[in-house]
Chains A and B, each alone.
Chain A
Amino acid sequence: MSQVEKLRELGQKERKRQEQFHSRVFCCISTACLSTGAGATREALEEAVDGLEQSDDQQIEVVPTGCLGLCSKGPLVRVETKDEPDVFYESVTPEVARQVVEVHASANGEKAKNGLQKHVLAPDIPFFSKQVKVVLTECGHINPEKLEDYLAHGGYTALTRVLDEMTPEQVCEVISQSGLRGRGGAGFPTGLKWTLTRQAVGDRKFVIANGDEGDPGAYMDRTVMEDEPHRVLEGLMIAAYAIGAQYGYFYVRGEYPIAIQRLQRAIRAARRRGILGKSVMGTDWRFDADVRIGAGAFVCGEETALIHSVEGKRGMPRMRPPYPSVSGLWQCPTSINNVETLASVPSIINKGADWFASIGTEKSKGTKVFALAGQLTNTGLIEVPMGITLREIVYEIGGGVPGDQDFKAAQTGGPSGGCIPAEYLDTPVDYESLQALGSIMGSGGLVIIDDTTSMPEFAKYFMDFCMDESCGKCVPCRVGTVQAWKLLDKITRGDGVPEDLDKLEGLCTTIKQSSLCGLGQSAPNPVLSTLRYFRHEYEELVSANSEAEAESVEA
């Protein structure tokens, strides 16, 4: 039996096993739910199921799974029952968990159902119905630690198809046609990056999955790595095949221990089943992968800095060109892709470039995962088609700003992005539109702020971050961020004068235009965008001093 057949059989066996259950109870065990007590919920569910007398046709099992999305209402539990619609439960305490099992275990569980009504989330609320899942397809549907479960859900079929039917050139072509762009923030066309790396001359080539998600306020990449490690690995392998690489790395933040563990586990399982190794899927292509752990440096998300970090050096960026696609890791051609980009790849191969290109806008195709946070009713992880408006995200999916406060701005792209005020809420979310507003798509952090937040203070917060994270290699960033922070500090303390605003704007423009890497080039964005849309708040802070000065001159 060939390798591919063995894997197919493994997946079928797992699917048959799953089908014998009348109900399957999915308990979210991602970091957010764990911190609201999902550990105890899972134990209660498992105990309750163990305590049942299970007949052959009424079996029930508990499946630990990945993020179900609505993190603010955790712990979350979803129940799949044969021939019935799925039921979502929110705020599932151990007590509620026992009731959930009772309701779904027996046909006459209707009586107990009434007490649970207040924990049931309607499946048609906009939070769920407005979303389109491409990257997070299996998230919340499979046990991320089980290779068999991924296989049962069609895992590694894209890789098999690529190896069987396609040349590397064809893979690059399909990805180019799909219009997939880098999800790390800059939006470089993925197909083009692969083609350039494939055409570059070199004995050895590398692929790296960039999981160094340093943006404060963002956790999309963590979720993708924790909940769908095999999907990222499959995407990485397809990338490796397309460019002709023999080795790949996952570069993961040290702050994400669960993501590191699950990726390592996924790699071990893949090696055991012949997916990784000397003969991938029984072909003569040799490929293996390993995890490299970052140690807390925001700048390492920049690709040349990341390469230095993998090489065991200080994570400082260097001048480009040469781009990593020509000279990267150990001077070999290297393709570095964000984990979310890689996680989109298996779906594109399976469903076709045209299908992917049909989602989104003219220049931004597919979906984007956002970590929705801040002053919103519903916070959590969402995947939406490109081109959706901010208004839909904030008011329909997010449920609006709670309490009596008003929406003030949406902050995208973390310390590299900007603030978008209420009058632009109808802007479609795509790379170009956000850039035109002075912000960026970024890796996917979306923080909503209400009118209690002072914008100059907020800008100072981000400048403080960039000042701290600047690697110090180039002067505009190292010195500029400190000076910009000092000016912001002076203004927010109420000591600023009107001229400081022009000085700040000039300084920020200089940093933006002359810094070496993306960190410095984008560090002034929060300041420039708040100066653009909320200048009156800065002016209020400095105007008091100009009047006082004018008075003292008159006197």
Chain B
Amino acid sequence: MTATEKTDDRSTANNGHPSGDERFKALDRTMKRFKYEKDALLEVLNAGQEAFGFLSEDLLIYISSHLGVPLSQIYGVATFYHLFTFEPLGDHNCIICAGTACHVKGSDKIITTLSEAFGVKPGETTPDGAFSLTIARCLGSCGLAPLMVLDGEINGNATPEVALERVNAALDIATGGTQQEKESA
């Protein structure tokens, strides 16, 4: 492919995603900022993950056509890094830190408790999409070990009991909310 053909390719692709999904615009901005350089792949994947929450096949194809990087290569890069996920997370996400300090203070017990209570292994989401259990290598708040992050809220000095209680509370509120909505409807 010659250089001019490549530019043509990109100018047509610049009209955005055919679905008209607004979230692609954030991705387009990032790619434009890096002048569609292949080297910016990681930045673009990060932007995609931020906009969509996960990297779908459609999204990877879109990135592939814009940066001119083979899809196989993009998949290779994306799967190499832990932060990229290929499936959507649950409505509620609980991250348990398994860093050294948290491990020493018993984070494995919290993981086992939640895992058994909701029937999910670390990294999995419940079949109804309500709850995901995620493990972090270290969240860097070792002074407060063990650490859990539930829906973005950080809780230090966690115990299995407290963790279970909080997750249950979060899930209850969610179902309670939908019931109210149903009633009002």
Is B truly associated with A? Answer: yes
A374-B46 CB under 8 A given contacts A35-B154, A71-B144, A219-B142? no
B40 and chain A: residue at smallest CB distance:
A312
Measured between beta carbons, the chain A residues less than 8 angstroms from B141 are 31-32, 35, 71, 219
B101 lies within 8 A of A292 (CB) = no
Measured between beta carbons, the chain A residues less than 8 angstroms from B156 are 32, 35-36
Chain B interface residue number, banded: 35 or more
B138 lies within 8 A of A254 (CB) = no
Contact partner of B104 (CB less than 8 A), chosen from A34, A447, A465, is A447
A315 lies within 8 A of B101 (CB) = no
Is residue A148 contacting chain B, with contact meaning CB distance below 8 A?
no
Contact partner of A222 (CB less than 8 A), chosen from B39, B77, B140, is B140
Please tell me which stretch of A156-164, A294-302, A389-397, A493-501 contacts chain B, meaning at least 4 of its Cβ atoms lie within 8 angstroms of it: A294-302
- Which of B39, B80, B141, B143 counts the most A-chain CB atoms under 10 A from its CB? B143
Please tell me which stretch of A83-91, A190-198, A209-217, A280-288 contacts chain B, meaning at least 4 of its Cβ atoms lie within 8 angstroms of it: A209-217
Measured between beta carbons, the chain A residues less than 8 angstroms from B147 are 35
B156 and chain A: residue at smallest CB distance:
A35
Is residue B27 contacting chain A, with contact meaning CB distance below 8 A?
no
Closest-CB distance, B142 to chain A (whole angstroms): 4
Bound together, the chains give a CA A309 to CA B45 distance in angstroms of: 12
Is residue B175 contacting chain A, with contact meaning CB distance below 8 A?
no
Is residue B26 contacting chain A, with contact meaning CB distance below 8 A?
no
Measured between beta carbons, the chain A residues less than 8 angstroms from B110 are none
A217 lies within 8 A of B38 (CB) = no
Is residue B76 contacting chain A, with contact meaning CB distance below 8 A?
yes
B98 lies within 8 A of A312 (CB) = no
Measured between beta carbons, the chain A residues less than 8 angstroms from B140 are 31, 213, 218-219, 222, 255-256
Closest-CB distance, A290 to chain B (whole angstroms): 10
Is residue A304 contacting chain B, with contact meaning CB distance below 8 A?
no
Is residue B139 contacting chain A, with contact meaning CB distance below 8 A?
yes
Bound together, the chains give a CA A313 to CA B43 distance in angstroms of: 11
Is residue B118 contacting chain A, with contact meaning CB distance below 8 A?
no
The number of residues on chain A lying at the interface, defined by a beta carbon within 8 Å of a beta carbon of chain B, is: 53
Closest-CB distance, A410 to chain B (whole angstroms): 12
Bound together, the chains give a CA A295 to CA B141 distance in angstroms of: 19
Measured between beta carbons, the chain A residues less than 8 angstroms from B144 are 32, 35-36, 71-72, 74
Bound together, the chains give a CA A374 to CA B144 distance in angstroms of: 9
Is residue B84 contacting chain A, with contact meaning CB distance below 8 A?
yes
Bound together, the chains give a CA A405 to CA B101 distance in angstroms of: 17
Bound together, the chains give a CA A311 to CA B39 distance in angstroms of: 5
Closest-CB distance, A84 to chain B (whole angstroms): 28
Measured between beta carbons, the chain A residues less than 8 angstroms from B174 are none
CB proximity to A under 8 Å, residues B108-133: none
Bound together, the chains give a CA A219 to CA B141 distance in angstroms of: 7
A309-B154 CB under 8 A given contacts A35-B147, A216-B98, A255-B83? no
Contact partner of B101 (CB less than 8 A), chosen from A298, A374, A465, is A374
Contact partner of B77 (CB less than 8 A), chosen from A292, A314, A374, A461, is A314
A295-B137 CB under 8 A given contacts A312-B41, A373-B145? no
A379 lies within 8 A of B104 (CB) = no
B104 lies within 8 A of A375 (CB) = yes
Bound together, the chains give a CA A298 to CA B80 distance in angstroms of: 11
Is residue B173 contacting chain A, with contact meaning CB distance below 8 A?
no
Is residue A449 contacting chain B, with contact meaning CB distance below 8 A?
yes
A379 lies within 8 A of B43 (CB) = no
Bound together, the chains give a CA A312 to CA B34 distance in angstroms of: 12
A220 and chain B: residue at smallest CB distance:
B140
B104 lies within 8 A of A218 (CB) = no
A71 lies within 8 A of B104 (CB) = no
Measured between beta carbons, the chain B residues less than 8 angstroms from A414 are 100
B80 and chain A: residue at smallest CB distance:
A314
Bound together, the chains give a CA A203 to CA B103 distance in angstroms of: 48
A379 lies within 8 A of B142 (CB) = yes
Measured between beta carbons, the chain A residues less than 8 angstroms from B64 are none
Measured between beta carbons, the chain A residues less than 8 angstroms from B60 are none
Write out, one digit per residue, whether chain A residues 371-405 have a CB within 8 A of any chain B CB (1) or not (0): 11111000111000000000000000000000000
Contact partner of B143 (CB less than 8 A), chosen from A312, A316, A379, A453, is A379
Is residue B105 contacting chain A, with contact meaning CB distance below 8 A?
yes
CB proximity to B under 8 Å, residues A304-330: 309-316
Measured between beta carbons, the chain A residues less than 8 angstroms from B37 are 312
Closest-CB distance, B107 to chain A (whole angstroms): 10
Measured between beta carbons, the chain A residues less than 8 angstroms from B35 are none
Closest-CB distance, A7 to chain B (whole angstroms): 28
Bound together, the chains give a CA A461 to CA B98 distance in angstroms of: 10
CB proximity to B under 8 Å, residues A390-429: 411, 414
Write out, one digit per residue, whether chain B residues 86-104 have a CB within 8 A of any chain A CB (1) or not (0): 0000000000001111111
Closest-CB distance, B162 to chain A (whole angstroms): 14
Is residue B56 contacting chain A, with contact meaning CB distance below 8 A?
no
B143 lies within 8 A of A411 (CB) = no
Bound together, the chains give a CA A31 to CA B80 distance in angstroms of: 27
In the assembled complex, 20 residue pairs joining A and B whose CB atoms fall closer than 8 Å, in A order, are: A31-B140, A74-B144, A216-B138, A217-B100, A219-B138, A219-B140, A219-B141, A254-B46, A255-B136, A293-B43, A295-B81, A296-B82, A312-B40, A312-B43, A313-B41, A373-B100, A375-B104, A447-B104, A449-B104, A461-B100
Which A residues have a C-beta under 8 Å from some C-beta of B? Answer: 31-32, 34-36, 71-72, 74, 213-219, 222, 254-256, 292-298, 309-316, 371-375, 379-381, 411, 414, 445, 447, 449, 453, 458, 461-462, 465, 471
Besides A217-B101, A255-B138, 9 more A-B contacts (Cβ < 8 Å) are: A215-B100, A217-B138, A218-B138, A312-B40, A312-B77, A313-B77, A379-B101, A447-B104, A461-B100
Closest 8 CB pairs of A and B: A71-B143, A217-B100, A216-B99, A219-B140, A295-B81, A35-B154, A296-B82, A373-B101
